[in-house]
Amino acid sequence: MVMIKNRHYRALELDKVLQLLSREASCSESQERILSMEPSTGLYEVKLLLQETDDAHMLTGRFGSPSFGGLQNVANSLRRAQAGASLSMGELLKVAEVLRVMRGLIQWRKRSEGLETSIDWRFEALPPNKYLEEKIASSILSEEEMADGASQALGDIRRKINAASLRVREKLDHMIHSPAYQKYLQEPIVTLRGGRFVVPVKAECRGEVPGLVHDTSGSGATVFVEPMAVVEANNDIKVLKSKEEAEIERILYELSQEAGGFADSIIEGYNAAIELDILFAKAKLAYRMKATLPEVNDQGKIYLKKARHPLIDPKAVVATDIELGLQFDTLVITGPNTGGKTVSLKTIGLLTLMAMCGLLLPASDGSMVSVFSQVLADIGDEQSIEQSLSTFSAHMTNMIHILSSVEREGISLVLIDELGAGTDPVEGAALAMAILETLRASQVRIAATTHYAELKAYALQTAGVENGCCEFDVATLRPTYRLLIGVPGRSNAFAISERLGMDQHIVARARELVSAENSRFEDVVRNLEESRQSLEQERKEAQELSAQAQQYRQEAEQRAEKLRRDSEAELEKARVEARNLVARARAQAQALMDELDDLRKKNREIDAQAKARLKAGIREMENTADPVKEKQGEDYRLPRALQAGDSVLIYDLDKKAVVLEPADSSGNVLVQAGIIKTRVPVGNLRLLKQEKVQKPKGRGVRTVKTRASAPVQQEVDLRGMTVEEGIMELDNFIDSALLSGITLLTVIHGKGTGVLRKAVQERLKRHPSVKSYRLGNYGEGEAGVTIVELK
């Protein structure tokens, strides 16, 4: 098993992440390639690797992971076949299995056809070769058995072998069941020895059964004899078996030569399949880690949002934000032991290396990492007993190596745990600052952990250097593992000692021994920490309020949008109803016009004024085909109950009408707009102002319409009325016609059930002013109208 050799990568535990990744791969060669994987230092290559992993991640989420089971390296076998060697049945079956896996990958990709990704070229490198796959699979049944149908000759040979074996068995069965031989046999069975049919004979009776001895039992009590009667038949079977073996060798050679002819394309496809296996292993690991695609740069800028160390239990790990290379190039992390400083340091380095290997990162969307020419780390206790090096000496040896390894070209990432530790604090702090200054002179990004207060002050006073600390809860004596940028850490030694039960006078004496300058610095740090916690709480509350306000705003927008859609739907419904209403009226008017035209054709008299009025009505209806207008709603109440004869406005149609009947029990009013009669809800009507007529004083004066002032009408439409309403309307119509001097009238009562027609004719029969009446002719309305002639 190949492992990464770079000790800096091992210090950051990249090898453990690669082991997790290898478990997601399906074949052994993929696992070996993963374990020997090295981070790439080229920006373009890293972006391409990450994009391929992200596309595999997307495809896995939408279509599931493809199957790589059965993928195995057959390059050596194919190269031998290409050189003319004959492969075994097992080797050829492995070739067919590889072809089957590649065909399955091609079919899996076709499920997402039309969806372009950056890994399509890898699928295109898979050579479909169903011909060779099926030929091998149909010819070879297992590693030891060739199919009868592999060739016609093999089938014929095996049929002959079966027939010859059957004949031998029949002869031997006859012999073992014969009374003459049964007493000489150890058992009445037929068995095989050396590929020849024999019978078990008692050793003492060997001479009683003529034949060839092929074997003896372990005890020597039984000899296996081939009777002379079947020797020739067994010889024939032996010859046929030799021919069978020769034919199988010929078939294997033929199949091997065909496989050798496709060796290059199959090996190329196998390598593409291995790369795909690695890619989808990365995708599966990303799902396990809930990882995302980071932005990548080569300028040393790192910003990790809610980053999680991938090797810590997800239930125990605490997400943290980490920044480096944006506002500062050096981060000094301070705080107590077991506070999470080393975890933060490793998280920076490990996630950087993971991205450079093409792995998605366990961090939130919007995270950013950089590609570095080198990632150098001094983490952990490197003490070597064999070299007689102390902890300090081991760290210094590593630092000397790191200082000499930093390249002048390209940006390096240097991670140092417990910088300057293991020696005198004053000298160690001074040495640590000198090392940081030397490293910063080169193009490096540095993250270091320390306990030294001098380095905290150095970070506060030096541009480009920033303090950081891992949050620690003194009340519970537990670290929260959150990295806080811009805040120096406190050792909390006194507080921790008190919480653990140390005598207070000892802690008090320790505080007295601390220098005043150091105490003031710790007080400043404490005040900063208290202010930070207060601001953090306020920021959290503000975020919650902002999120709540955002939710309310979205809900309000959704309600407003729903009201708008409902309003548009109702408006469209009203438009449709209005169009239907106008269409029906237009059809009725056109029917009347057609009847008038028919009368004209029959040389009947036509009232030109009535015809002009009908045409004008038609034009008006056409001009108002979409009469519904968007209006602001108004809180309108009728000043009084509507009465017959009131002039009203149909509000949604913006059409004037006359009330024919007041509101019924359902709140609908019968109105007439032009030639159209319809029922309208009372809420949709507006009473129009009318000029008041002054009644003269004294006796009432009755106004009688004369022929000159009476309206000219030749027909009345009684459809839709009750019998009583229709008779009343008929009488009024006849009176008006008499005043106008009209003698020929048309009464429209419709066909329907005939009740209204019968009542009209009964009334006409008794009316003193009616000279005669008849049903309408063709073109006049036929049985739907009655033509009346007045005296």
Asked if 52 and 296 touch (Cβ cutoff 8 Å), the reply is no
Spatial CB neighbours of 49, under 8 Å, sequence gap ≥ 6: 40, 357, 358
Q: Is 700 annotated as a binding residue?
A: no
Cα 204 from Cα 247, distance rounded (Å): 43
Is 338 annotated to bind a ligand? Reply is yes
Q: Which amino acid is at 281?
A: A
- State the sign of the Cα–Cα–Cα–Cα dihedral 111, 114, 115, 117: positive
Element housing 722 (H / E): none
Known binding residue 423? Answer is no
Taking CB atoms within 8 Å and a gap of at least 24, the contacts of 775-781 are: 776/746, 779/595, 779/598, 779/599, 779/602, 780/595, 780/598, 780/599, 780/746, 781/595, 781/746, 781/748
Alpha carbon of 202 to those of 192, 216, 217: distances in Å?
A: 17, 10, 10
**Known binder of ligand: residue 617?**
no
**Which amino acid is it at 577?**
E
What span, in angstroms and rounded, lies between the C-alpha atoms of 176 and 181? 6
User: Please, which residues bridge with residue 211 across strands?
Assistant: 227
The answer to whether 104 is annotated as binding is no
**Residue 573 is labelled as binding a ligand:** no
Listing DSSP states for 500-528 in one string gives TT--HHHHHHHHHHS-HHHHHHHHHHHHH
Rounded to whole angstroms, what are the CA distances from 311 to 18, 245, 343?
11, 57, 10
> Exposed, middle or buried: residue 748 (CB in 10 Å: 0-12, 13-18, 19+)?
middle
Amino acid at 381: D
Residue 236 backbone phi and psi in degrees, to 5: -60, -40
Give the residue from 733, 736, 741 showing the smallest Cα distance to 716: 733
Cα–Cα distances (Å) from 25 to 29, 105, 283, 535, 692, in that order, read 9, 15, 10, 47, 97
CA distance 727 to 786: 14
Give, in degrees to the nearest 5, the angle at Cα 190 between 185 and 191.
110
Kindly state the tokens that stand for 176.
């073992």
Query: How many whole angstroms separate alpha carbon 288 and alpha carbon 310?
Result: 10
Q: What is the 3-state secondary structure (H, E, C) of 486-497?
A: CCCCCCCHHHHH
Do the annotations mark residue 380 as ligand-binding?
no
Measure Cα distances from 99 to 135, 276, 519 in Å.
Answer: 12, 15, 74
Element housing 358 (H / E): none
382 vs 394: CA distance, rounded Å: 6
Which one-letter amino acid corresponds to residue 633?
A: G
Question: Nearest 5 degrees, angle CA 548-CA 551-CA 554?
Answer: 150
DSSP state of 748: E
Nearest residue to 443 (alpha-carbon basis) of 373, 349, 352: 373
State both tokens at 87: 């492969």
Angle between helices 425-440 and 391-405 (to 10 degrees): 10
Is 347 assigned to a binding site?
no
The residue to which tokens 């790192």 are assigned: 302
Binding-site positions for ATP read 335-342
Binding-site positions read 335-342
